[in-house]
Amino acid sequence: MLYGFSAWPDRNYLPAGLSVFKPTDKQYLVQVADFLRLYRLDTETQTLAARLLAAARPAEAGRPADEAARGGELRLHLRGLVGSQDAVVAAAALHPQHPNVFVLHDRDEAALFMADLRHLLPDGPEALLFPSSYKRPYEFDETENANVLMRAEVLNQVNASRRPEAATLGAAPLVVTYPEALSEKVINRQSLVQNTFTAKVGDKLDVNFLGELLGQYDFEK
């Protein structure tokens, strides 16, 4: 499922009806899980979650899909969200058994949104940033090696989540990104599988073979 969010004027605002408490006011503090549970009980959030799930599921044989969700596309526009309320609604309405992609305006907004999701969902699913490979937007001269690695890790996790055993565990990651990152082409799934070398603790590996393999992919000692 793919989501897009607009920029908010100030992420320091709190949702309407909430007050700012001092850290010493323990009797008023609400646990994140309880706070999120309140949003999940909201009828509008439940309707949103149901419509997103209906759009993600294939139509049953002989029974047409929701007209608004035909072809797997569903357009919804949420108004009046302030501060981190976009992340709260997303966390309350998402379905972790399906991959979820959130598209923000730029890297800074995406990083803040990802941080909000991680605070709201400490027990998972994990929120991952899918960044651009380049140091500056749309300037393709210099790549950022750390970003290239992050992109590969996200693609590997998305690929792993599509396996049958992962689907039963609700292990699909939450991918947070922005337009510059999506404008880059990525390797297709078949090529990714063919060019992935997997090693785990306890495996016996030939050092010379491993050195040659890494050298082919321009790794340096």
Report the pLDDT value the prediction gives residue 213, as an integer from 0 to 100.
78
Percent of the chain with pLDDT over 90: 15
Q: At 179, is the pLDDT very low, low, confident or very high (cuts 50, 70, 90)?
A: very high
User: Residue 201 contacts by C-beta under 8 Å, 6 or more apart in sequence?
Assistant: none
190-219 as b/e, with b when 16 or more CB fall inside 10 Å? eeeeeeeeeeeeeeeeeeeeeeeeeeeeee
CA distance 70 to 221: 52
- Between residues 9 and 39, the one the model is more confident about: 39
CA distance 209 to 219: 14
What's the whole-number mean pLDDT along residues 88-109?
88
Report the pLDDT value the prediction gives residue 215, as an integer from 0 to 100.
80
Report the pLDDT value the prediction gives residue 9, as an integer from 0 to 100.
41
pLDDT at 208 over 90: no
Residue spans of alpha helices (H) in 94-135: 107-120
SS (H, E, C) 36-82: HHHHHHCHHHHHHHHHHHHHHCCCCCCCCCCHHHHHHCCCCCCCCCC
Q: At 28, is the pLDDT very low, low, confident or very high (cuts 50, 70, 90)?
A: very low
pLDDT at 94 over 60: yes
Cross-strand pairs, 176: 102, 129
* Confidence (pTM): 0.67
